Amino acid sequence: MKFLLLSIPFFIALLFSGAYAQNIQDAYQFSNAPIKGTARYNSMAGAFGALGGDISAMKDNPAGSSVFLTNFGSVSLASNFYNNQVSLNGFTSKTSDDQLDISQIGAVFVFNNYDENATLTKFAFGVTYDSNKTFNNEYNWQGYTPSSISNYFVNLANGVPVNYLEPLDVDNTYRSLGELNIAAGGISNTDLQTAYIGYQAFLMDPLSLENNTYTSNVLGNEFDQHYNYISEGNNGKVSANGSFNLNNKLYLGLNLNGHFINKEISTSFLEQTNTSSTTINEVYFENYILTLGGGFSFDLGAIYRLNENIRLGGSYNSPTWYSIHDETNQYIDSNSPEDGFIYIEPNITNILPNYNYQTPSKYNASFAYLFGTSGLISIDYSYKDFSKIEYSAKGNYYDFNTLNQQIETNFKSVSSIKIGGEYRYKHWSFRGGFNYNESPYKNEKIISDSKLYSGGIGYNFGNYKLDLSYSRFNQTYQQSFYRTGLSPAEIEYISNNVTLTVSANL
């Protein structure tokens, strides 16, 4: 199509501004994981870095597998009850839901050396699966604002020559606009496609052909709006662990981890206005994005028994190196008092090229004090620099310079504290924990610090154990429904998690 060959040099700069599915919010989501594992691990807020002896503890410090006395296995079932309170422009909506998943499966096999003169006293090998993070979440908001969603489309269209937006062959034009900068040696331009369907739905008209600017056809100063967000999927990890014990004092371990991401997001936005002078009085807009990826990481760890009561731990969790791709599609319709409904539904799914995503590494230091066989207390400290998150890609399909600069500018290094304790009485165990995480944003209004409180009980039947935990997590953050044109909402997220673990000596 000849019109797609016009003004390509102008669009090289426009498309490099970040017209891909990734954004700074995704950068944080894929690098942040809640405390999630066995019931014992959860009930003590994950403070196991110097303890070991738990399947989930191995993901923080791989040396912990050598603490097991015998072969051991466990499986955990988690139920999460969450609430979202969304506030914008004085209007608040609440949403509640729950989810059930297998959060952890694993086994450790222990090989003891009974030679009293041997330096290597024990070797352990483990295989685990961890559901690091489930993306299941849902919230909605309904209220009135002074800003129309048409501003989003106008902002994307400004600077775009009108001959890119006028062709009526929706499917072919939509596909060609998505491939334009690939053909020119750049990136797939989903923003340009979004501007095109907004123009075709008559949400805007050209204001100046010379300056390529646009004006909204949706007039008014109060708009009735409904927004819905649904996400599903999982960020999981499969690990192979190996560790050994030297002189029954020093434990050293290594994890090799395979990661996968499967995340689906569906959003819808309905806007209505009763202003008599408006050309468009109703807009309905849907977006869908599927993110698929796989990655690799490794962990190194050590535990040292200072004496019978004190243990010290240290570990390093490497970055996770992901290869990811996104798939997107869109739908929009609008209603005009004069012309009725206009439906724009490109029968196109954008399958965007693969790109690379790197999470930050994490450093951990731990201390534990054991009160004989009656109980223990454990403290973990972690350091993580979120400004080290990085996107990259081979070839010329993407330019992530702007996004990486936003990450470096907005994110900071953070500290995390986990405190856990356990008291044993006969066959019973009683546990509690607390976790505090600093906000990764320099502007803490975007995402607040977070706190988690936890507790649980366990019963030892001899060859097998039954453990139950409860934890409560809360955090507030700002969420923009769309990248431009509308004010961000404030969301308070509260999660209540119940985990049941069955474990046994194998």
Q: Dump the DSSP string for 132-167.
A: EEE--EEEEEEEEESS-THHHHHHHHTTS-GGGT--
pLDDT band at 16 (very low <50, low <70, confident <90, very high): very low
pLDDT of residue 180: 64
pLDDT of residue 396: 67
pLDDT band at 322 (very low <50, low <70, confident <90, very high): very high
Report, as an integer, the average pLDDT of 215-238. 93
Q: pLDDT per residue over 51-75, tens digit each?
A: 999 999 999 999 999 999 999 999 9
pLDDT of residue 402: 83
Domain ranges, ordered by start, for the chain: 2-505
Nearest to 162 by CA among 216, 217, 203, 205: 205
Q: What count of Cα atoms within 13 Å lies in the side-chain half-sphere of residue 158?
A: 12
pLDDT of residue 15: 34
Asked if 456 contacts 489 with a C-beta cutoff of 8 angstroms, the reply is: no
Q: Got the DSSP string for 87-140?
A: EETTEEEEEEEEEEEEEEEEEEEEEE---TT-SEEEEEEEEEEEEEEE--EEEE
Q: pLDDT per residue over 404-424, tens digit each?
A: 999 999 999 999 999 999 999
Whether the CA torsion 488, 494, 498, 499 is positive or negative: it is positive
The overall pTM is greater than 0.85: yes
Pick the CATH number of 2-505 from 2.40.160.60, 1.20.1050.10, 3.30.70.60, 3.30.70.600: 2.40.160.60
pLDDT band at 139 (very low <50, low <70, confident <90, very high): very high
Asked if 363 contacts 301 with a C-beta cutoff of 8 angstroms, the reply is: no
User: What percent of the chain has a predicted confidence (pLDDT) above 90?
Assistant: 73
Contacts with 425 (C-beta within 8 Å, 6 or more apart), sequence order: 374
pLDDT band at 9 (very low <50, low <70, confident <90, very high): very low
